[in-house]
Chains A and B, each alone.
Chain A
Amino acid sequence: MAAKMFRQCPDTGLFFHKSAESLMKAHAVFGVVYLLLGGALGLLVALTRMPTLHILSAENFYLALSIHGTAILIFWIIFFEMAVLYFASSTLLRTRPAAPGIGWIGFLLMVAGSTLTMVAFLRGNSSVMFTSYVPMPAEPIFYLGLILFAVGALIGCFIFLATLVVAKQEKTYDGSIPLVTFGALTATIIAIFTIASGAVILIPTLLWSLGFINHIDPLMYRTIWWALGHSSQQINVAAHVSIWYAIAAILFGAKPMSEKVSRTAFLLYILFLQLASAHHILADPGVSSTWKVFNTSYAMYLAVLASMIHGLTVPGCIEVAQRKKGFNNGLFEWLRKAPWANPVFSSMFISLIVFGFIGGITGVVMGTEQINLIIHNTIFVPGHFHATVAVGTTMAFMAITFFLIPVLFRRALIWPNVCKWQPYIFGGGMLILILFLLGAGTLGVPRRHWDINFSDAALQFQFAGTAVTMMGIAGLGGLLAAVGGALFCLIAVGSLVFGKRLDPGASLFSSFGFPMAASCYTIDQPGKLGLAPIEQAGDGGAQAKGTFVLALVFLAAFVIYFFINAKYLSSIWPMG
């Protein structure tokens, strides 16, 4: 039986295969559920760390923080990434997904695993934070849940790879895979490595928690665990950079300035994957400086170079496309006349700027062996990764969600005015939170700490008033970001339930992971995807002058900030 399985989105021309579409929806919806849960607890964490409010008890604070980190950094991100993988393979290559049945098994494992870990948290004996450093024990079901979740995600990765093979064999596209699919492929390869590292460390840790192994070396744990913990954030980077390119193409018709450069930059993420993982070991005993200096840089920081390349080429290709449309005055008319009221663009562009200027710069600075001495485990670190993950990755995912609700779910967005402002509220709140966490961290305020006034301690210490004030302002930023995050969840869920149906065949139920009414699917196999049209007049790569100026500003900020921190380092006690 050759059932017709494809439908074409009338607005974008994209083709959706029934099975892939359902899988995309299911993963995206579950991702948003975890965003909602993790975000709500993030608000409680932020308000507790405001010295004036301090709302949770110590026990509940550490519990809330453990759930916040795990729900956001693992579950929200990876559920959503699986949806991105189905989109980048099946939809972009116009192909059927390989083995959708097994895809559902992967999905169910991810649901079961994440639920199990949440149960472990709520039972109260597993408040061990996202990192679960041994020998602090969690309950066995905590590790088991993570392992099941990882197996499910691994299945999703292999289905992505198999779908690429199907598309190639069935010749659904011409030439090479699109850049966005290439980026998703990068993310998948990194994900497989990441999950393998997770298995290598979490399986023995599970056995240890069950009593079959009596010792896990803490340094070994940290070294291998971070091949999971930070590499998983490199999956995010590859995924959200792919989304930047996708949105530039969808909104502006932008083509990459150079396919060769952009693809090589993705490849560098794979080759230099371990740099950031090793950054976590900089203040540890038992590892030599030579190891640290080499493994955090491989001598030339080519993963940093890769991000700096994307940082130029993504806005650069938007600039070129905008100039072609006639926004050609001065250096920045292309940017001023960009669709700032469209949340797909504004969310994506805020993601790009904050990820690069703040997330990127702070990450490299604290990843410098000696400078790490003044930053390790201070609240500067959460400041850094809220710039990379909470703005960089999450806002890129939010941007593509605003696009996918009409296209994938066939629902109109509710509250258009709120949609317009949501990226600024969330991004603005996060920016305040991030800047003041970075500031407080520079003054030594610790991360993961319930009471920086030490009121229950036998000894006394008072942080500088500025540091305490900064924590208060950061909390207000967190509150504003939580409002923005809540608005996003309301818009996403509200649009699925109450949004105007854009397809007469859709039923209410159809929005939640199930395909739309069969009558929507009228296409047997879409026509072969051809090459992108060739642009005339030299492709215009040389026209990205405004972007180049922005890039130079970025480089200047990077250099200045680096040497400010080097100067600060030189003021602490001599040691060696």
Chain B
Amino acid sequence: MSIMPPSRRLWWKEPIHGIEMIWIILALLWCLVLFMWMPYWHLYGKQNLSNESYKTPPEVFESKANAMAKAHTVRTDAKSSIPVVHPPAGSDVYLLGRLWQWWPILELEKNKSYRLHISSLDWQHGFSLQPTNINLQILPGYETVVTITPDQSGEFAIVCNEYCGVGHHTMLGKIFVK
């Protein structure tokens, strides 16, 4: 009876039944597989988070994003008046989140790698690239750097998936891959 004191005073000396023991061993082995899978994927998987990030004040990050946009803007999106930027393949690309937009719009080339820097200028935001479905937490004052290699062409949306106030659901960004 689990609501009464154990029937044997020295309950910790009782043997463990076969079924329980087999299950504990099986479960532990699976838990070890779960653990080993993570370092394995760091070595052999192609989708990992980089460990590169910096503490960058919002104004510093904003000026880097502005400089990149100034150098590589190819046109402006008519409806949102956000610049569309086509950075050179392999270069450092800056994307900033603020209430409530992702800025600027990026135009990337398929199967080329880019060092994507992302940060927030105000509150916490969530970088959720759809429909490929890559999700990152974006914090103000922290600059995330991740090397991405788009392997599909088309139009991708950046949904904000960290709640950021009453305009949260209007916060969309774009990445075009050609």
Contacts and interface: CB of A to CB of B under 8 A. Distances in A.
| Residues of B in contact with A, size category | 35 or more
A179 to B, nearest CB: 4
A257 to B, nearest CB: 6
A442 B110 CA distance: 24
Nearest to A88: B3
A14 to B, nearest CB: 8
A574 B148 contact: yes
B128 to A, nearest CB: 6
A248 interface: yes
B89 interface: no
A161 interface: no
A177 interface: yes
Nearest to B145: A285
B3 A246 contact: yes
A299 B33 CA distance: 10
A547 B20 CA distance: 10
A41 to B, nearest CB: 16
B164 A542 contact: no
A179 B6 contact: yes
A13 B71 CA distance: 81
A458 B172 contact: yes
B165 to A, nearest CB: 7
A553 to B, nearest CB: 13
Contacts, number: 333
Interface in B47-87: 47-51, 53, 55, 77, 79-80, 82
A541 interface: yes
A289 B49 contact: yes
A300 B20 contact: no
B123 A576 contact: no
Contacts of B82: 458-459
A176 B151 CA distance: 62
A433 B62 CA distance: 41
B68 to A, nearest CB: 19
A548 interface: yes
Q: Is the interface of A mostly helix, strand, loop or mixed?
A: loop
Contacts of B16: 258, 260-261
A559 interface: yes
A374 B3 contact: no
A222 B123 CA distance: 13
| Residues of A in contact with B, size category | 35 or more
A454 B169 contact: yes
A212 interface: no
B1, B53, B170: most-surrounded residue (chain A CB, <10 A)? B1
Interface in B88-126: 101, 105, 122-124, 126
B32 to A, nearest CB: 6
Contacts of A180: 2-3
Contact of B165 (A136, A289, A545): A136
A312 B48 CA distance: 35
Interface in A504-549: 529-535, 539, 541-542, 544-545, 547-548
A59 B169 CA distance: 11
Interface in A418-461: 443-444, 446-452, 454, 456-461
Contacts of B150: 573
Contact of B170 (A178, A317, A458, A569): A458
Interface string B134-149: 1111111111101111
Would you list the 7 A-B pairs with minimal beta carbon distance, nearest first? A541-B17, A461-B157, A446-B161, A285-B53, A458-B80, A175-B5, A301-B31
16 contacts: A178-B3, A218-B141, A218-B142, A219-B139, A249-B3, A258-B20, A308-B27, A370-B48, A377-B137, A377-B161, A446-B128, A449-B168, A456-B169, A458-B82, A532-B1, A574-B46
Interface of A: 58-59, 62, 92, 127, 129, 133, 135-136, 173-180, 217-219, 222, 245-246, 248-250, 253-262, 282-286, 288-289, 293, 297, 299-302, 304-305, 308-309, 312-313, 316-317, 364, 368-370, 372-378, 443-444, 446-452, 454, 456-461, 463-464, 529-535, 539, 541-542, 544-545, 547-548, 551, 555, 558-559, 562, 566, 569-570, 572-576
